[in-house]
Chain A
């Protein structure tokens, strides 16, 4: 069963627009960890953020912000004032406390920022 769902396959925006990427997860564990990774056109996977299930505080890092809501099992990611360099595939991932060796990834959302 898919544990991480990223319903948006592709998003295209014009530079300086905000873009929000949705991530919905499924787990029976009470302890779990959520991640976002970025994969630019060069192909490497870059870690962006980690949250644990006990910390619902939203986080902002520069133009990036994350909204974690346990009530809706969502961990959404917003890029404010997007730039061309934000063009990439973004993956949401889940690690469960009972299987802490494993990251389960969503299918990814391709973001294209046009100048």
Chain B
């Protein structure tokens, strides 16, 4: 099993550019989430999904879009990149968060210049 796979691992964007961070899991987990990690702030929830076709906003959703057309995939779209979106992004999946916590991908380090 590959677990949670994120691509790319590193990305540099110019302000105003758009891009999609890819996330795929092969564990048939219903729950998937995107977090961002910033120094001194822990991980903050951007968007989450409780199943295919169902998504909702987390704590810091502005500037990001998600969709969940299949159980496996949960891409995160940056609509118009801003320097404030420079961060490390983690995708995570779970069967049930309360029982198992999340399994995290290896992260994407994004720099917006």
Give me the interface of A with B, judged by CB distance under 8 Å.
4, 6, 9, 33, 35, 37, 43-45, 47, 50, 52, 91, 93, 95, 97, 100-108
Closest 3 CB pairs of A and B: A105-B42, A45-B104, A105-B43
Chain B 21-56: CB-based contact to A (< 8 A → 1; otherwise 0):
000000000010101000011111100101000000
CB atoms of A50 and B31 under 8 A apart: no
For chains A and B in complex, what number of residue pairs have CB atoms within 8 angstroms?
A: 60
A-B contact pairs, 22 of them (CB 8 A): A33-B97, A33-B98, A43-B106, A44-B106, A44-B107, A45-B90, A47-B103, A50-B99, A95-B101, A100-B98, A101-B48, A102-B58, A103-B33, A103-B45, A103-B102, A104-B45, A105-B35, A105-B43, A106-B42, A107-B41, A107-B42, A108-B42
> In the complex, what distance in Å separates the CA atom of A91 from the CA atom of B41?
11
B96 at interface (Cβ–Cβ under 8 A)? yes
A contact residues around B102 at 8 Å (CB): 47, 103
State the Cβ distance, A57 to closest chain B Cβ, in Å. 17
User: What are the residues of chain B within 8 A of A102 when measuring CB–CB?
Assistant: 33, 45, 48, 58, 97
- B33 and A101 form a contact (CB under 8 A): yes
Where chain A touches its partner, the secondary structure class is strand
Whether B42 contacts A91 by the Cβ 8 Å rule is yes
In the bound complex, residues from chain A placing their C-beta under 8 Å from that of B90 are 45
The residue of chain B having its C-beta at the shortest distance from the C-beta of A102 within the complex is B45
Residue in B closest to A93 when the chains form the complex, CB atoms? B101
Q: Among A9, A37, A43, A93, which residue has the most Cβ atoms of chain B within 10 A?
A: A43
A107 touches B40 (CB 8 A): yes
Alpha-carbon separation in the docked complex, A43 to B98 (Å): 23
Cβ contact within 8 Å between B43 and A9? no
